[in-house]
Amino acid sequence: MKTELSEAFLKKVEPNGRRQSFFDTRVPGLELRVGARGHRSFYVFYRFGKGGGAPLRRYHLGSYPVLTVSSARKMAISTLSRTLRGEDPAMERRRDRESATVGELIGKFMREYVEARTKPSTRKTYANIINKHIVPALGKIRVTALSGPDLTRLHSAMSSTPYAANRATAILKTFLNWAEENGCRPSGRNPARQVRPYKEEKRLDCMGPDQLARVGEAMTELVREGKLAPAAESAIKILMLTGARKNEILTLKREDIDFANLRIRLLDSKTGFKIIRLPMAAAEILSGIAREEGTYVFPGRGGKSHLSDLKHPWKRVLEKAAIGGRWRIHDLRHAFASEAVNAGASLPLIGCLLGHRNSQTTARYAHISQTSAAELAERTGESISRFISGESKKSWRCVSVEDQDAITVVRHDAGNAQRGRLQGYLRRLDDDGFEAICLNITNIVQLIN
């Protein structure tokens, strides 16, 4: 039956022992349904698709008197507008009710996406943050109901550890993108985009020659005392001499070393295929251990796998060296890059040597010859080798290096978009520091005072 729905009509309609339907004449598809016992509810009907053969959907708006006739009309119009944009409100609500919780679906995400596409160290980071932070906070929420405020609350709760908070948001963003691609959420509605990340402070300090020398002395003494395994000492020295990432050396296979051309060929590093140049000092260390039996250059216990970590050996070295500060094994990579700068290397060449994959930096690598990279590796490795052995007391200043970038030279806010592609270079001025000069920009920005 069609009629103009009103508050007066709702009050006078009486239950008759069976269900009654009344369709509004003002808003097409809006239905008032009166139950056998008098319960009054509002629905809106629509067809999802084009033509009379498209499936008919019924969408529940709410019940009277919580929902008035006026409010029901507004909700019906809003729902019908969504269908014109290609949405299917009734099916979305059904998926919401049937959808898995975050805790249920994120396990499948780990198995089908993370384990198939990432490296072991990344999988370990994902698992730690998911189990420690994401599942306890969001695990019971249905994936389709997860909202920006939910993610913001988690991010705020982790404010004391901003780096971990940002990683949690990044993991959730990847997870929700995957959920959308697999039909577990409506597409284009990833709430992780609404979360503003915390500012992460960059490390501007790194080990200087004196500290590297004391590390070298400490390792020699610890090996002599039987408190440091020779394999751990060799691994740390290779990190110091090549600027390689820790796992690139710990997982190094004997077949990856090309002594004839003084290089290591990694088919699957963090950034894909990579060549690590070997200075003579590094090649001499490897030549003494790489010709032994086994797959890995630095085998773990039992010889079946590789050395898993250098955390405890590195801690003993730092305690023995007494150099102060919270130095990480990764800081040896920064020290290598800083010495390369002091050797007069250009930023693109250092990026090539370290194997960065930043898109802007990578674009600069195309014209760099491998000969130049080999010469730079040799000069830098030779300098660091002298520091380790105590033959050199040279002093230099540190330049910050980040894994996803080459070396931070200068940030400029020039309006001209073309300036975003300018390349900087470092020029040594004196023993007190360096200055970064941006081509076509008149001002000179001093990096190190």
339-379 per-position pLDDT tens digit: 777 766 666 677 777 776 653 432 332 333 344 566 667 77
At residue 110, the pLDDT reads: 93
At residue 337, the pLDDT reads: 78
Quick: pLDDT tens for 112-157: 899 888 888 889 999 999 999 999 999 999 998 899 999 999 999 9
Cis previous bond, 65, omega within 30 = yes
Look up tokens 């500060």; give the residue: 325
Contacts of 161-165 with C-beta under 8 Å, sequence gap 24+, read 162/198, 162/199, 162/200, 163/198, 163/200, 164/129, 164/133, 165/197, 165/198
Does the 2-98 domain belong in CATH 3.30.160.390? yes
Torsion angle defined by CA atoms of residues 172, 177, 182 and 185, in that order, rounded to the nearest 10 degrees: 80
d(Cα 183, Cα 181) in Å, to the nearest integer? 6
Domain boundaries, the chain: 2-98, 102-194, 209-408, 409-449
Q: Tell me the pLDDT of the chain (449 aa) as tens digits.
A: 899 999 999 888 888 888 999 999 999 999 999 988 888 999 999 988 887 778 899 999 999 888 999 999 999 999 999 988 888 888 888 776 667 899 989 999 998 899 888 888 889 999 999 999 999 999 999 998 899 999 999 999 999 999 999 999 999 999 999 998 887 888 888 999 989 999 877 655 678 888 888 999 999 999 999 999 988 999 999 998 888 888 888 988 888 898 888 888 888 776 677 888 888 888 889 988 866 677 888 888 776 788 888 989 999 999 999 987 678 888 888 888 777 777 666 666 777 777 766 534 323 323 333 445 666 677 777 777 777 776 665 544 444 433 333 333 332 332 333 222 222 322 222 233 333 322 222 222 222 22
Which residue in 399, 382, 408 sits closest to 434, CA to CA? 399
Contacts of 149-156 with C-beta under 8 Å, sequence gap 24+, read 150/191, 151/191, 151/192, 151/194, 151/195, 152/194, 152/195, 155/195, 155/198
d(Cα 243, Cα 269) in Å, to the nearest integer? 14
Contact between residue 91 and residue 57 where contact means Cβ atoms under 8 Å apart: yes
CATH topology of domain 209-408: hpI Integrase; Chain A (1.10.443)
- Superfamily assignment of 102-194 in CATH? Tyrosine recombinase, N-terminal domain (1.10.150.130)
Identical fold, 2-98 and 209-408:
no
At residue 314, the pLDDT reads: 92
Q: Sort strands 56-63 and 40-47 into parallel, antiparallel or unpaired.
A: antiparallel
At residue 430, the pLDDT reads: 28
pTM of the model: 0.53
